[in-house]
Amino acid sequence: MTSGRKQGLFIILATFLISLLVTLMPLPDWARPFRPQWYTLVLIYWAMAHPERIGVGSAWLLGLVVDVMTESLPGQHALTLSLVAYIVVKLHAQIRVFPLWQQSVTVMALLFLEPLIATWAMGITHQPPPPAPYWFTPVIGMLLWPWIFIILRDVRRRFQTN
């Protein structure tokens, strides 16, 4: 089944790529602070569905790409995403069987790690603390999770990514 595995990896990479693209997509100014953490959501899904393929290592690589892509402090996203992936891989068996709403709440808790570490990074680089909407993005992520989950589950089933 090597060709199937390869195809699966390809699909996973493609979803990550799309999530990165929508992260870069220019938004009107008022909407910018509310941009959901697309790549984190996608990462959480794949780490939960295929913890044996997508783990801390791939999360770290993804984080590096995000850092370079958005010109943030090198290592900031790498650290956050590795942490998120670690927790998800540890708990994947539990999160998987949660009902969807409970999953969403867990996801929100995970998403909070990112602004948390980012504020810390801003602190050590002497930047002013971010405005209030900054803490709101995980909530948007939570609301989006059911849709992300359903879409990616269908993708996973359609393409048999295991």
Partner 1 sequence: MMFGGHKQKHLKAIHHSLTLVVYPLHVLANTPMFVSNWMVETFSTNSRLQEENDRLKEDNLKLQAQQQKLVSLENENIRLRDLLESSLKVKDRVLIAELIAVDLDPYKHQVLINKGGNSGAFEGQPVLDANAVMGQVTNVTPYTSTVLMITDARHSLPVQILRTGQRAIAVGTGNINRLQIPHLPNNADIKTGDLLVTSGLGGRFPPGYPVATVTDISRVEGKAFIDITATPNARLDHTREVLLVWTVNTPKPPQPDTPEPKQDSEQPELSELPEQEVVQ
**Binding footprint of partner 1 on the chain (CB under 8 A):** 17, 20-21, 23-27, 29, 32-33, 35, 64-65, 68-76, 78-79, 118, 121-122, 124-128, 130, 134
Please, which residues have CB within 8 angstroms of residue 35's CB and are 6 or more apart in sequence? Answer: 23, 27, 137
Q: In whole angstroms, how close is the CB of 113 to partner 1 at the nearest point?
A: 15
CA 146 – CA 31 distance, rounded (Å): 21
CA 114 – CA 46 distance, rounded (Å): 18
Tokens 């994947």, located at residue: 92
Strands in 45-117 per DSSP E? none
Which residue, 7 or 72, has its beta carbon nearer to partner 1? 72
Which residue, 97 or 132, has its beta carbon nearer to partner 1? 132
Q: In whole angstroms, how close is the CB of 85 to partner 1 at the nearest point?
A: 16
Q: In whole angstroms, how close is the CB of 11 to partner 1 at the nearest point?
A: 18
Q: What DSSP character marks residue 5? A: H
Which residue, 4 or 74, has its beta carbon nearer to partner 1? 74
